[in-house]
Amino acid sequence: MKSTKNIIRFLSFIIYATSIFFFPNIIIVLIFFIINNLIMLINKINMKHVIIKCIQILPFIIFTFFVNWILDTFYNAVWIGLKLFLVSQITIIYSECSSIGRNSRYG
């Protein structure tokens, strides 16, 4: 039963993270940001830890932004950077919530 719950949680995470890239509307992206923060609050995840992890990922996001800016418009590069940041944030939140992530850090 526990493994089924973990599989459903993992598949929900994959669908959620992938769907972020399909919505072009700023309001929907803002809703994803709010949902990320609500998930963090509901699961009582340390916000400082998530911010530190996001800052550690920021060089990769900035590099991706510049590559996209060179290959495409500035506007599209900003969109991809923002969405990549949101996906990184939810990935960090998921790793804090999953039993695999908790067991590997504290076990």
Nearest C-alpha neighbor of 37 from the set 28, 27, 47: 47
Residue position matching structure tokens 């923002």: 82
DSSP 97: H
Helical ranges in 1-107 per DSSP H: 2-19, 26-42, 47-71, 74-97, 99-106
| Mean pLDDT confidence for 20-37 | 85
pLDDT at 101: 52
| Mean pLDDT confidence for 52-78 | 93
Q: Which two tokens stand for residue 99?
A: 């039993």
* 102: pLDDT strictly greater than 70: no
Global pTM value: 0.79
Nearest C-alpha neighbor of 82 from the set 53, 62, 67: 62
Residue 33 near residue 23 (C-beta atoms within 8 A): no
